[in-house]
Amino acid sequence: MEKDIIFGIWPVLEALREGKEFNSILIQAGFEATQLAEIRTLCKQHEVPLKHVPIQKLDRVTRKNHQGIIGMACPVEYQSLEQLVPTWFEEGLNPLVVVLDRITDVRNFGAIARSCECMGVDAIVIPKADGVSVTADAIRTSSGSLHRIPVCRESNLKLSIELLKGSGFQVVGCTEKGRDLVHEADFKVPTAIIMGNEEKGIQPDLQKRCSSLVKIPMSGETQSLNVSVATGMVLYEINRQRLI
């Protein structure tokens, strides 16, 4: 984990100035320094979450002299969905994208990434706020798949979905509230699948932007599936259709 953190006031500030990508920056509660004003400005500019935490939390991350500030660096380089989309069509691909709405568990994220890479997904889209980030734990759970598949961390999922729809994608939400069964949908066209939070599902604003809503047929008494399992099942159906 040490290689994924930057600690100390000046190292963190210089990394921000150089455009280093951070998942978040932790600052000791009550800590003040003249450099913090610029750090806060750069975090806002680059949409990096800034969290004030007890010193005990900083000490758990590293026992070295962190000076009251630790930057949780991203171990991969995030990609731009806007730049990726035209390249897929230029290459003659039939792209498949997975959008994760408010998924917060890094192990679920890692398992989803592993399934995505195995099933030929072209990119995973996650929100900058209220969702997971690529961390060392997520990479381990993904068996390294997060090093092999583009991850786009976008500021606004609604705009990302509109971008995909405007580019010719069908956007399909996977939810138990879906009217159609997953195998009844046609996935042989450019597709973006939205998977929602296990407790809250897909946000209503995102559901409204979906071309269709599908559900996985179930016959047991349990009402829902683990989101990583559900993602794998949907991706299997997409792959099955595209290989026929």
Q: pLDDT tens, 76-125?
A: 999 999 999 999 999 999 999 999 999 999 999 999 999 999 999 999 99
- 111 shares a domain with 22: no
Residue 92 near residue 118, CB atoms below 8 Å: no
- 33 shares a domain with 140: no
**Which CATH number goes with the domain that contains 60?**
3.30.1330.30
Residue type, 16: L
Average pLDDT score over residue span 17-34: 91
Given 23, 47, 73, which residue is the final one in a domain? 73
Give the integer Cα–Cα distance in Å for 28 and 35.
Answer: 14
Structural domain count of the chain: 2
- 157 shares a domain with 37: no
- Write out the two tokens for 208: 């409204």
**Residue closest to 228 by CA, chosen among 137, 150, 114, 125:** 114
Instruction: List C-alpha distances in Å: 135 to 23, 113, 174, 215.
Output: 8, 12, 25, 30
Residue type, 188: K
Give the integer Cα–Cα distance in Å for 158 and 238.
Answer: 23
- 17 shares a domain with 91: no
- 121 shares a domain with 39: no
pLDDT band at 2 (very low <50, low <70, confident <90, very high): low
- 49 shares a domain with 94: no
- 92 shares a domain with 206: yes
- 91 shares a domain with 197: yes
Average pLDDT score over residue span 190-214: 95
**Which CATH number goes with the domain that contains 120?**
3.40.1280.10
pLDDT at position 223 over 50: yes
- 124 shares a domain with 41: no
pLDDT band at 1 (very low <50, low <70, confident <90, very high): very low
- 90 shares a domain with 18: no
- Write out the two tokens for 167: 């580019």
Give the integer Cα–Cα distance in Å for 145 and 147.
Answer: 5
Average pLDDT score over residue span 17-26: 92
Q: pLDDT tens, 139-197?
A: 999 999 999 999 999 999 999 999 999 999 999 999 998 989 999 999 999 999 999 99
Q: Name the percent of the chain lying above pLDDT 90.
A: 85
Rank 23-27, 35-39, 41-45, 191-195 by mean pLDDT and report only the highest: 191-195
| 123-127, strands of its sheet edge to edge | 151-154, 123-127, 96-101, 191-196, 170-174, 212-215, 180-181
- 186 shares a domain with 86: yes
Work out the mean pLDDT of the chain and round it to a whole number: 94
Looking up tokens 């979906």 gives 210
- 117 shares a domain with 6: no
How many other CB atoms are found less than 10 A from the CB of residue 140? 13
Q: Could you list the residue range(s) of the whole structural domain that residue 56 is in?
A: 2-73
Given 23, 46, 73, which residue is the final one in a domain? 73
**Residue closest to 232 by CA, chosen among 242, 243, 240, 221:** 240
Q: pLDDT tens, 51-62?
A: 999 999 999 999
Given 26, 47, 73, which residue is the final one in a domain? 73
